[in-house]
């Protein structure tokens, strides 16, 4: 099927999280010679399409069909794709229906492969991701169908198509600190315990503090203060407590334990409580992994660019593959308009992304 026509078709299907907009059924119909496995829960649809061609390794392409709400500020209907000057405007154009269209067409056209080819799709990536890829992976493990290698087609490129792939992602640790004091009159500070004053000379030990030095794959894990609040918004009453919120995008070198220990040292002697939660955990695929080498070669062949190997950015469903020890990479279009009004990508990028995936399947499936 024509990659651009298919891309435009799924862009026109409204699939705001967790609604798949009937895209999964459409893709299943196109992939009729693949076994279809659904595993749905919590109002979320998950589809796994698989076909064994040979006895070799299992290569999977993964992604999500759901998109964030359109919001305001669009110059056209966000679910009626507009083509202008070689660009396609619609919600999901970059994140990530371009990637879905590219790998569905590439896999659908594969005639031979030395192993198993599959596609994993969810309608719950832009939300909490509770009932999406992670539960499908657990189900696939029960069926002994976990892939050996995965390509997640998230938009990864920065300035030029082909300039970056992701070989890992940082984790995300959230912290909630409450420092207790004693409320009082501003005219009698000696009768109060002002938590703002208590923290003032210690804030530098928290704000922007680097918990590790990073490495070849990750930048340092840095403590970022996201919110500080206390008091009653009056000038004559000192606060009885102070709340601080923070986030650490952590590498594999820093865990919740290190974060907790550092905060304990920084706030030693203060009356405080701390809650730490972790929404995602860091992972990295080795730079000499087969999937890294093969996709780099495919990108170089199609684009003539040598992509950098990055772990920057937020989270993606690739983290769930990493938790199973699966070698996973991410590659897709330029990501400069994701989640923004007038989200768009170029026809050329979508076509080249398809060509990269076709080349990758050919390289990966060749009998050595």
Report d(CA 172, CA 261) in Å as an integer.
Answer: 17
Q: What is the DSSP string of 145-162?
A: ---SEEEE----BSSSTT
Residue 125 main-chain phi, psi, to 5 deg:
-115, -35
Report d(CA 146, CA 61) in Å as an integer.
Answer: 12
Residue 323 main-chain phi, psi, to 5 deg:
-65, -25
Residue 181: Cβ-neighbour burial (10 angstroms; 0-12, 13-18, 19+): buried
Report d(CA 199, CA 244) in Å as an integer.
Answer: 10
Of these residues, 125, 330, 343, 359, which one is catalytic?
125
What does the DSSP 8-state code read for residue 113? -
**Is 20 annotated in the active site?**
no
Classify the phi-psi angles of 337: left when phi > 0, otherwise alpha if psi is within -120 to 50, otherwise beta: alpha
Q: If we measure between CA atoms, which residue out of 114, 161, 106, 150 comes closest to residue 359?
A: 106
- Helix H or strand E segment including 293: helix 290-303
Report d(CA 80, CA 29) in Å as an integer.
Answer: 23
What does the DSSP 8-state code read for residue 332? -
**Is 275 annotated in the active site?**
no
Cα separations in angstroms, 91 against 64, 75, 265: 13, 12, 46
Under 8 Å between Cβ of 119 and 129: no
CA 182 to chain CA centroid, nearest Å: 43
Collapsing DSSP to helix, strand or coil, 290 comes out as: helix
Report d(CA 116, CA 365) in Å as an integer.
Answer: 9
Of these residues, 19, 20, 66, 154, which one is catalytic?
66
Active-site residue set: 66, 125
């Amino acid at each position: 099927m024509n990659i651009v026509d298919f891309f435009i078709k799924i862009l026109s299907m409204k699939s705001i999280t967790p609604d798949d907009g009937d895209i999964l059924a459409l893709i299943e119909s196109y992939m009729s010679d693949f076994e279809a496995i659904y595993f749905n829960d919590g109002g979320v649809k998950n589809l796994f399409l698989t076909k064994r061609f040979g006895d070799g390794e299992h290569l999977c392409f993964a992604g999500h069909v759901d998109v964030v709400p359109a919001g305001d500020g669009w110059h056209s209907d966000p679910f009626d794709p507009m083509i202008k000057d070689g660009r396609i405007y619609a919600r999901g154009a970059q994140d990530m229906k371009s990637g879905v269209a590219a790998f569905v067409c590439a896999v659908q056209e594969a005639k031979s492969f030395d192993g198993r080819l599959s596609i994993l799709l969810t309608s719950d990536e832009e939300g909490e991701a509770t009932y999406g890829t992670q539960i499908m992976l657990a189900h696939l493990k029960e069926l002994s169908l976990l892939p050996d290698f995965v390509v997640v087609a998230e938009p990864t490129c920065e300035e030029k198509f082909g300039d970056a792939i992701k070989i890992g992602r940082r984790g995300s640790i959230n912290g909630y600190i409450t420092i207790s004091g004693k409320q009082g009159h501003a005219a009698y500070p000696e009768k109060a315990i002002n938590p703002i004053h208590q923290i003032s000379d210690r804030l530098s030990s928290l704000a922007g503090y680097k918990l590790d030095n990073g490495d070849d794959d990750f930048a340092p894990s840095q403590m970022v203060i996201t919110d500080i609040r206390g008091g009653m918004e009056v000038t004559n009453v000192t606060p009885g407590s102070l709340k601080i919120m923070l986030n650490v995008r952590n590498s594999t070198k820093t865990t919740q334990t290190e974060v907790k220990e550092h905060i304990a040292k920084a706030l030693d002697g203060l009356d405080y409580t701390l809650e730490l939660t972790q929404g995602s955990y860091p992972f990295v695929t080795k730079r000499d992994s087969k999937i890294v080498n093969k996709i780099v070669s495919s990108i170089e062949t199609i684009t003539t660019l040598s992509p950098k190997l990055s772990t920057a950015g937020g989270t993606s469903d690739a983290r769930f593959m990493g938790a199973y020890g699966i070698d996973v990479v991410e590659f897709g279009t330029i990501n400069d308009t994701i989640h923004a009004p007038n989200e768009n990508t170029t026809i050329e990028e979508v076509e080249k992304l398809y060509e990269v995936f076709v080349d990758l399947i050919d390289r990966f499936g060749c009998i050595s």
